[in-house]
Amino acid sequence: MRIASPSRLMMVARTDKEARLKDFIGDGLLPRDEGLADRKCLTLFVRNPDSPVARALCAAWSEGRVDNTRIRILICDTNSEEAASGALFDIAHAEFRVLADQNFGSAHEQLVVGEKSVWIGDCLRRDPTKRDAFELFHPNETTTAVFATASFEKLWVRGRPLKPFKSESVAPEIIAVQSGEPDALPRNPRH
């Protein structure tokens, strides 16, 4: 079956992309007045944690837009060029898998929000400095979401589970108690 032409083909700057994606995530998870409630599920197939769509998901998570949502993230490359991108792995209730197979380099980044909204981004093998040139938004398109979800499920099965990262830092409360000084403030171990 052939999928209809893109709903909205957009070429945007990297600075605008994260904000648009964050709004797309929030809008896709809003309750609908259509009888049965939408499943609150979000799937993401992404090149690495530095991707703008991964950053947008982190921003939506930090604002509480994805609470009570099942989140599954499939990453092709866990190496991150920027320290801040580790925030993707901070989403405690998300499930992560890694698909480290070079044969999927021609695949595109993909985000499915709920049962009706799909975003498709650039090719995974594209030069990272040029990967923000292409994106498709398919809001409220059930058929497209069904195909995108089926595609994600096939990739998800091929990925291997990623163990949760364990923080090497000590909780601030423990540092303050062990310091012996009641007014001592814990230092941030990242500085």
d(CA 23, CA 25): 5
Side-chain-side CA neighbours of 170 within 13 Å: the count stands at 9
Amino acid 56: pLDDT: 94
Sign of the Cα torsion 148, 112, 104, 122 reads positive
Amino acid 158: pLDDT: 95
Amino acid 189: pLDDT: 42
Amino acid 132: pLDDT: 54
**Alpha carbon 161 to chain centroid, angstroms:** 16
Nearest C-alpha neighbor of 46 from the set 156, 129, 140, 130: 156
Question: pLDDT in tens for each of the 191 residues of the chain?
Answer: 555 555 555 555 666 888 999 999 999 998 765 544 556 899 999 998 888 899 999 999 999 999 889 999 999 987 766 655 558 888 988 999 999 888 888 899 999 999 999 999 988 877 655 655 678 999 999 999 999 999 999 999 999 998 765 555 555 555 455 555 554 444 334 33
- C-alpha angle 67/122/162, rounded to 5°? 50
- Please give, one letter per residue, the 3-state secondary structure of 54-78: HHHHHHHHHCCCCCCCEEEEEECCC
Nearest C-alpha neighbor of 42 from the set 137, 138, 114: 114
* CATH number listed for the domain at residues 8-179: 3.30.870.10
For residue 178, give Cα distances in angstroms to 115, 169, 183, 188, 190.
50, 15, 12, 15, 19
